[in-house]
Structure 1
Amino acid sequence: MSDLATPLTRFSRSGRWALGALALAALSACSLTPEYQRPEAPVPATFSGAPAAQAAAAAALPAWSDFVADERLREVVRLALANNRDLRVAMANVEQVRAQYQIARANVAPTLNVGVTGERVATEGGNISSTYTAGLLVSAWEIDFFGRLGSLREAALANFLASEEALHAAQTSLVAAVTSTWLTLQADEELLALTRDTQVTRDESLRLTRLRFENGASSALDLRQAESLAATARATLAQQQRQREQDRNALALLVGQAVPAEWLPQVPSAQTVALPDVPEGLPSDLLERRPDIRQAEQQLRAANANIGAARAAFFPRISLTSSLGSASTELSGLLKDGSWGFTLAPQALLPIFDLGRNQASLGAARAARDGAVAQYEKSIQTAFREVADALAGRATLGEQLKAQEDLVRAESDRMRLAELRYRNGVASYLDVLDAQRSLFTARQAQVQTALAQRLNQVTLYKALGGGY
Structure 2
Amino acid sequence: MQKLSTIAMAAAVATTVLAGCTMEPWYHRPAAPVSQSFPEGGVYATQPGQPGGAPNGRSASGAAATDIGWRDFFTDPRLQKLVEIALKNNRDLRVSVLNVEAARAQYQITRAQLMPSIDAVGSDSRTRSPRDLQQFSENPYSIYNVGLQASWEIDFWGRIRSLKDQALAQYLSTAEARKAAEISLVSQVAEQYLTMLADDDLLKVTQNTLKTAQDSYNITKAQFDNGTGTELDLRQAQSVVETAQANLQAQLRARAQAENALVLLIGEPLPADLPPGLPLGAQDLLTDIPAGLPSDLLTRRPDIMEAEQTLLAANANIGAARAAFFPKISLTAAFGTESLSLGGLFHAGTAAWSFAPQITMPIFEGGSNIANLQLANVQKRIEIANYEKAIQSAFREVADGLAARGTYEQQIAALQRNTFANQRSLDLSELRYKNGVDNYLSVLTAQTNLYSAQQTLVQTQLARQNNLVDLYRALGGGWIEHAGETPRPADAPVDYGAASAPVAASAAPAG
TM-score, normalised relative to structure 1: 0.90
Of residues 315-324 and 427-436 in structure 1, the stretch that sits farther from structure 2 once superposed is 427-436
Q: 1:257 to 1:23 in 2, by over 3 A?
A: closer
Deviation at 1:428, TM superposition (A): 2.5
- Paired residue for 1:273? 283
Letter in 2 for 1:137: Q
Does residue 1:330 correspond to 2:341, yes or no?
A: yes
Give the structure 2 partner of residue 134 of structure 1: 146
Partner secondary structure for residue 374 of structure 1: helix
Of 227, 232, 236, 2:238 maps to 227
Q: How much identity, in percent, do the aligned residues show?
A: 47
1:47 to 35, 38, 43: 38
Q: 1:444 to 1:20 in 2, by over 3 A?
A: closer
SS in 2 for 1:36: coil
Deviation at 1:466, TM superposition (A): 3.1
How many angstroms does 1:215 deviate by? 2.5
| Consecutive unaligned residues in structure 1, runs of 5 or more | 1-7
CA contact (8 A) 2:280 2:462 kept: no
Aligned residue number for residue 392 of structure 1: 403
Q: Give the structure 1 partner of residue 370 of structure 2.
A: 359
Aligned residues: 453
57, 60, 64: which one aligns with 1:59: 64
Alpha-carbon offset, residue 330 of structure 1: 3.4
- Compared CA separation, residues 271 and 58, structure 1 to 2 (3 A): closer
Q: Identify which of 202, 207, 215 aligns with 1:191.
A: 202
1:280-319 paired onto structure 2 within 5 Å: 280-319=291-330
1:3 is matched with none
Q: Is the 8 A contact 1:58 1:280 kept in 2?
A: no
Matched, 1:81 2:115: no
- Classify the secondary structure of the residue corresponding to 1:113: strand
Q: SS state of the match for residue 157, structure 1?
A: helix
1:455 is aligned with what amino acid?
Answer: N
Give the superposition deviation at 1:216. 3.1
Alignment partner, residue 441 of structure 2: 430
Q: Conserved in 2, the CA contact under 8 Å of 1:32 and 1:308? A: yes
CA drift of 1:105 comes to: 1.1
Supply the AA of the counterpart residue of 2:27. Answer: Y
The 1:130/1:215 distance shift into structure 2, 3 A limit, reads closer
Shift of 1:264: 9.0
Name the amino acid aligned to 1:45: Q
> What is the CA distance between 1:417 and its match in structure 2?
2.1
Paired position in structure 2 for 1:5: none
Matched with 1:118 is 124
Other structure's SS at 2:87 match:
helix
Distance change in 2, residues 1:31/1:374 (3 Å): same
The answer (yes or no) to whether the contact 1:31–1:148 under 8 Å persists in 2 is: yes
Does structure 1 residue 167 correspond to structure 2 residue 158? no
The answer to which of 380-389 and 129-138 deviates more is 129-138
TM-score by length of 2: 0.83
Separation of aligned partners in 2, 1:81 and 1:367? 38
| Residue ranges of structure 2 left out of the alignment (5+ in a row) | 51-61, 480-511
Residues 58 and 281, structure 1, Cα contact 8 Å, conserved in 2 = no
Q: CA deviation at 1:434?
A: 1.9
Distance 1:326 1:63, change over 3 A: same
3-state SS, counterpart of residue 281 of structure 1? coil
Shift of 1:219: 2.5
Say whether the 8 Å CA contact 1:133–1:325 is kept in structure 2. Answer: yes
Map of 1:419 onto structure 2: 430
Which amino acid is 2:282 matched to?
A: T
Q: CA deviation at 1:421?
A: 2.6
CA contact (8 A) 2:197 2:280 kept: no
- Which has more radius of gyration? 1
Q: Which amino acid in structure 2 is aligned with residue 48 of structure 1? A: P
Kindly indicate whether the alpha-carbon contact (under 8 Å) linking 2:77 and 2:276 is maintained by their aligned counterparts in 1.
no
Runs of 4+ in 1 over 6 A off after TM superposition: 18-21, 51-54
CA distance in 1, matches of 2:178, 2:82: 19
Instruction: Identify the residue that residue 33 of structure 1 maps to in structure 2.
Output: 24
Does the aligned pair in 2 maintain the 1:148–1:310 contact within 8 Å? Answer: yes
Moved more, 254-263 or 446-455: 254-263
**Contact 2:65/2:475 (<8 A) preserved:** no
Query: Aligned match of 1:104 in 91, 99, 110?
Result: 110
Distance 1:181 1:283, change over 3 A: same
Deviation at 1:342, TM superposition (A): 3.6
How big is each residue's C-alpha offset from its partner over 1:317-350, in whole Å with a ceiling of 9 and x where there is no partner?
1111112222334332322234334422111111
Matched ranges for 1:1-16 at <5 A: none
Alpha-carbon RMSD across the aligned residues, in angstroms, is 2.6
Give, as a single letter, the amino acid of the residue that structure 2 aligns with 1:178: V
Aligned AA (2:292): G
Structure 2 distance, partners of 1:255, 1:44, is 38
For 2:441 and 2:276, locate their aligned partners in 1 and report how far apart those are by CA, in whole Å.
37
116-125 or 204-213, which deviates more = 116-125
1:464 counterpart residue number? 475
CA contact (8 A) 1:32 1:147 kept: yes
Match among 428, 440, 443 for residue 454 of structure 2: 443
Give the whole-Å Cα distance in 2 for the aligned partners of 1:421 and 1:452: 37
Q: Distance in 1 between matches of 2:308 and 2:349?
A: 59
Alpha-carbon distance in 2 for matches of 1:283, 1:408 = 39
Q: What corresponds to 1:210 in structure 2? A: 221
